[in-house]
Chain A
Amino acid sequence: MALKIVKGSIDRMFDKNLQDLVRGIRNHKEDEAKYISTCIDEIKQELKQDNIAVKANAVCKLTYLQMLGYDVSWAAFNIVEVMSSSKFTYKRIGYLAASQCFHEGTDVIMLTTNQIRKDLSSPNQYDTGVALTGLSCFVTPDLARDLANDIMTLMSHTKPYIRKKAVLIMYKVFLKYPESLRPAFPRLKEKLEDPDPGVQSAAVNVICELARRNPKNYLSLAPLFFKLMTSSTNNWVLIKIIKLFGALTPLEPRLGKKLIEPLTNLIHSTSAMSLLYECVNTVIAVLISLSSGMPNHSASIQLCVQKLRILIEDSDQNLKYLGLLAMSKILKTHPKSVQSHKDLILQCLDDKDESIRLRALDLLYGMVSKKNLMEIVKKLMLHVDKAEGTTYRDELLTKIIDICSQSNFQYITNFEWYISILVELTRLEGTRHGHLIASQMLDVAIRVKAIRGFAVAQMATLLDNAHLLTGNTQRNGICEVLYAAAWICGEFSEHLEDPMQTLEAMLRPKVATLPGHIQAVYVQNAAKLFATVLRKHDGETESQAAQETSQLLIDRLPLFVQSANLEVQERASCILQLVKYIQKLQQKNVEVAEEVTALFAGELNPVAPKAQKKVPIPEGLDLDAWINEPPSGSESEDEKPKAVFAKEEPKHSRSRHTEVDEKELARRREVRKQEQASNPFYIKASPSSQKVYDAPGVEHIPVVQIDLSVPLKVPGMPMSDQYLKLEEERRQKEKAERKKKEKKKKREKRGKERKADSGPESEEDITPAHQVDIVTEEMPENALPSDDDDKDPNDPHKALDIDLDKPLADSDKLPVRTHRPEVLKSPAEDRDGESVPQETKKKSGKEKKKDKEKDRKRSKEEKKKKKKPKEVEEELLESQPEEAVQSEETKEAAAPPTSTSAEQEVCVLMCVCLQEVTAPSSSAAAVDTSSAAAPESEPDEPKDTEPEDTKSSKHKKKKQKKEKEEKEKKKKKRHHHHHQHHGDAGGEDSVQNGTVEEEEPLPPMSNYSLLAENSYIKMVYDIQGNHQDESKVVVSVIFENKSDSFLKAMEFNVLDSLNSKLQRPEGAGAHDSLTVPFQLPPGVSNEARFVFSVQSIVMPQKLKGTLTFIVKSDESSTHEKLDFKLHFTCTSYLITTPCYSDAYAKLLESGDLKGSSLRLEGINMPFHHLLARICFHHHFSVVERIDSCASMYSRSIQGHHVCLLVKTSDQTVSIDAKCDEPSLLGNVLDEIKQTFSKC
């Protein structure tokens, strides 16, 4: 104790180090938690000391405790302290602790930025290494942004040890800060050819990770990887590359063809099993991607299957497992090659290893045929009985059901057999899959009409023996089956032999112990059975039996009326009252059977699970539009001073509503009661029934506990095995018969009852035992086919879907530590004249736009996933104006020479690689090179721009040929519509959008127009509306400081008109100005947005305004002002809205639109430029273009439709326009005219 008081380094010898802590914990096995808590107290003391060695020791111990599950985040700050020690020993401890317990939520992380930067640039490579390792575990978006540049520099470090770490960590940086991908990518690519194999391997690793998520962006690297694959000897690198190719081949089949040979060579030559396996896997991927086109690759398939068989037969369980795994991939496209190995796979089912059995099960799924289904399932049923663990048994159960039900029960020839299999499966104890069996029963009973009689009989037996299923032990899952049984018995009760008995079974007291939703079905179907019983006894004069049934229901239903489950209670009390009423009628000898049956008349048709989703949205229904005016939501709007146009209507209606509530409701209740009283069809609550509710309490219900723990064979159940025998006999008999018949007739129509009879020839010989009519599921009329693969929208990799082939723009820069990141040029350049500032202005505006665009693109991409093929076209239209913007960008952004040359090199390589495959490809690739910097290219969205992409290299097209063909078909269909109002539609081969596979690039365009400028400042602006708010537009103004001085205190003010008002913050007066939320250092520009509310949009408007600001230079500061006029054109109220051509046709046919037209003479530009201009400047989208004629569409923020038909001949352009608002149209046309008069 006394020693503890002494401070100093000697003391440290008495501190516990990590080993002491571990030893201590091992010596305190009984009271470990207590011991550790004293240790933590000690650690806290140690952390308070100034000595860094003591602290490091404490942190090291904490790391150990963290592993044991103790939260050590409270020491985060101390960890940072230890990290910043100058000694490597301690630094390493600190970084280790940080990597174990820091995460994005750790707030001290932001303190580490500078320390990490220091360590990264440390002369000691191990300091750098430790920092990189640590950072790789806890990098946050902020750290990634701040350190990306430093790490990128390290990628070219002299030491390979640092280089490889820097390369690897870049992946983490990309994930957290996707903007860094483009600027860092060229260097990353260089590292693929680093002299050090470790660095090379790291680069391959990173690019493979990236490409796995967004393969299409990395296709251009294929030649490089191809080279690496043929030259590298490092198996790790080879495996990664081969895996990468596996991801790329689906996108580029020709690459696959090229790959097969070297991969086959590797398969033959390599001794490494891991490499062999990956080669086989990629060959399979290639074969899948080629599956349709290439018949002569059967040798490769044979090779793969053969190698896999060797793997599966290997005694090494790992190889066996992987062999089966790969085999299942082949199965999808080449089932026949796999089927020949059925023996082997069935053998694997007996393997002691569960993983292998599961894999073999997967394979079985694809191997069944009509012939062997029963046999395979029998084998599986044996396994079910033997299976020890419930998980494996459940897996078997789901597999059996999957196998049988696949492709619409395609392989089932005997549904009686299937039903009895399902019934046998209900004997499984403790399965979680009761609902699965139940849904199969329902599915079969509903869709296979012929089986209903049999199914109902089986279900009735099940119901009769329900107590066996619900035996009190594990009734969690399987009692779901009763749900199906009860429903089937009820719905198809006409097939029941003895409905009375089933009814009795369904109303047993024990039923009350079932889950609520099942009871509810019981009650409802009891009523159906009741109806059936009544009908059976219809006509009989002595309706004794019928009356007994009513009595039975009246006796038993009260039990359910008391159920705690609302659904059960409600149904039971409803039906109880109904039965009582019926009983009364029966006593009067009234024939009721008809009426009661009518309650359940009609047949329920099966509805496809996705039917609801596929109901097309009716024409003209805008789900985003308000049905009623939205109540003014925010406080500020309510208090908006003196709204001239919008009076206090919303308030009014609201208050009226509350008044209605009280009085009106009371009155209405009265009226309703009276109405009910006089309505003969309304069953009134009788006082007697009320009593029944109270009479028997739950305690009085005798609960019979039948406990059978032995799994049982339900009596009277046919065993599925019988069917197998029967089936065999039947088939043999049939065969014999057929032989006879065949002598007479060659072939009789057979298998006609089966709709999808796609089995192989030999299988067609097996006729189903029953005349089975598989009812197909109902779908809504004109449902759209869709393949929605919902991808996780939160996937971080989505952000990395960035086009890397585009040359770097100025905006693609990693943030470097500067004080004013927005400075675009030095003040000295300033005086160089007009043109320079203009350039920069545009750029900064565009930067913003680009960001927006990125967001939009991202969201669009998400949408795209869900899109139906038809809508892809809509996409095409949408992309049009964007493209214009982009093209401008690409042109202006001078590509750094390195990247372009690299680009070309890649393209050439690609060319070399693919040349031999098809002749035309070389020219295509050549086009590719030249177009690398072509403004029109938009490789970012190859899908979107595909039809009009000037360069769209042919290989890309080929791949999408199919898609296109489909599209074309659709297009043609649509043409029919179109022609009706479009008399002069010429060629059939129209192209969607403004630009065809054409000619010259578009000239640069900008939407920003000059607002005002003087010697200090220049303002440009753009006006945008959106559909969400029909009375608001956003004015984006870019302010650019042209002077050498600092501009501050900028205030923006506009004189409101009656029609248009600047939206000011709450409490501000109508004439107050708005403060621009930034200051401008010399040479800097920035954008501010102002929201305006507008009432009428049919006329253009000009608003006068003033900008005041203070110019502050070193010597003085002056107050300046600049007047401007904001011009709200009618165009600015239009929003680019895509429109289907058929919707467009309807719109025109509707006759609501008024026409007007315009002629422009002497227009000397290509037609697609003209269209692009209209799209870009006037927010239209092209609906359809045929030769030199195009229809275009746009919509105003207030929902006015504007349709244009643009035709050109020689230098004359005529525009026929239609709109539901003539003055708006007139103004828009004037504006279009102006646009073209300028050029």
Chain B
Amino acid sequence: MIKAILIFNNHGKPRLIRFYQYFAEDMQQQIIRETFHLVSKRDDNVCNFLEGGSLIGGSDYKLIYRHYATLYFVFCVDSSESELGILDLIQVFVETLDKCFENVCELDLIFHMDKVHYILQEVVMGGMVLETNMNEIVAQVELQNRMEKSEASDQ
């Protein structure tokens, strides 16, 4: 199970947060801060797994993250997920974003948080991996965007 997905930038500003278990807002912010603190002090050439986030989960949970330019993509997962698998999944997710936004950058995430959520919803659902095939994800996202457009033009 994935317990949370956090995207924040090099300064710890959240760009997308998705918790699959309920935490109150202040707790969520605390988790983001703690996670940022843990992740940001690590060099880029160290491993992408991290234990010891005290706020989420416990010993069974791991932080698996990737750092792309200005953004950190952090997945908090339990032991039923394959570590390398989740790393691949982050890659798939980022590549999908790249396709949907055409050369995605932090600004896209800043201004289109909702769209990023909709894309993520096609990848992970309720903490479980829904789809890993990028073409399938992109196709579903585009179909829904098309629906939205047709609704807008109806007005």
Contacts and interface: CB of A to CB of B under 8 A. Distances in A.
A18 B111 contact: yes
Interface of A: 18-19, 22-23, 26, 60, 63-64, 66-71, 87-89, 92-93, 96, 100, 103-104, 124, 126, 132-133, 136-137, 161, 164-165, 168-169, 171-172, 198, 201-202, 205-206, 208-209, 212, 235-236, 239, 243, 273-274, 277-278, 317-318, 320-322, 352-356, 358
Nearest to B50: A355
11 contacts: A19-B111, A22-B111, A68-B14, A88-B148, A93-B114, A133-B121, A164-B130, A169-B126, A201-B132, A236-B132, A274-B88
Given A318-B47, A318-B83, A353-B47, A236 B129 contact: yes
Of B14, B17, B117, B118, which is in contact with the most chain A CB atoms at under 10 Å from its CB? B117
Given A93-B114, A355-B49, 14 more contacts: A18-B112, A18-B113, A23-B111, A67-B17, A71-B24, A104-B22, A126-B147, A136-B127, A137-B126, A171-B126, A172-B126, A274-B87, A318-B49, A352-B43
Nearest to A161: B140
B9 to A, nearest CB: 13
B70 interface: no
Nearest to A356: B47
B98 to A, nearest CB: 20
B99 to A, nearest CB: 19
Contacts of B110: 22, 26
Contacts of A71: 24-25
A1197 B39 CA distance: 62
A201 B50 CA distance: 27
Nearest to A317: B47
Contacts of A273: 84
Contacts of B20: 137
Contacts of A171: 126, 128
B25 A320 contact: no
A8 B30 CA distance: 42
Given A63-B113, A68-B14, A69-B28, A164 B128 contact: no
A321 B84 CA distance: 11
Contact of A132 (B14, B16, B85, B125): B125
Contacts of B103: none
Contacts of A353: 42-43, 46-47
Contact of A212 (B51, B80, B82, B117): B80
A67 B82 contact: no
B44 to A, nearest CB: 10
Nearest to A236: B132
Contacts, number: 145
B26 interface: yes
Contacts of A100: 18
Nearest to A64: B113
Of A60, A67, A169, which is in contact with the most chain B CB atoms at under 10 Å from its CB? A67
B10 interface: no
B40 interface: no
Main secondary structure, interface of B, reads mixed
Contacts of B22: 103-104
Nearest to A358: B51
B102 interface: no
Interface string B2-30: 00000000000010111010101110110
Given A239-B85, A321-B47, A89 B128 contact: no
Nearest to B18: A100
B46 A96 contact: no
B59 interface: no
B27 to A, nearest CB: 10
B83 A322 contact: yes
A1075 B111 CA distance: 64
Nearest to A92: B118
Nearest to B1: A209
Contacts of B16: 67
A88 B118 CA distance: 13
Interface in B61-94: 80, 82-85, 87-88
A352 B87 CA distance: 21
Contact of A243 (B29, B80, B143): B80
Given A92-B144, A317-B45, A165 B82 contact: no
Contacts of A274: 82-85, 87-88
Contact of B130 (A19, A104, A165): A165
B151 A89 contact: yes
Of A19, A137, A164, A353, which is in contact with the most chain B CB atoms at under 10 Å from its CB? A137
A89 B126 contact: no
Given A88-B151, A169-B125, A198-B136, A63 B82 contact: no
B145 to A, nearest CB: 10
B95 interface: no
A355 B126 contact: no
A151 B113 CA distance: 29
Contact of A208 (B80, B121, B151): B80
Contacts of B18: 100
Contacts of B125: 132-133, 136, 165, 168-169
A206 to B, nearest CB: 7
Contact of B131 (A164, A172, A243): A164
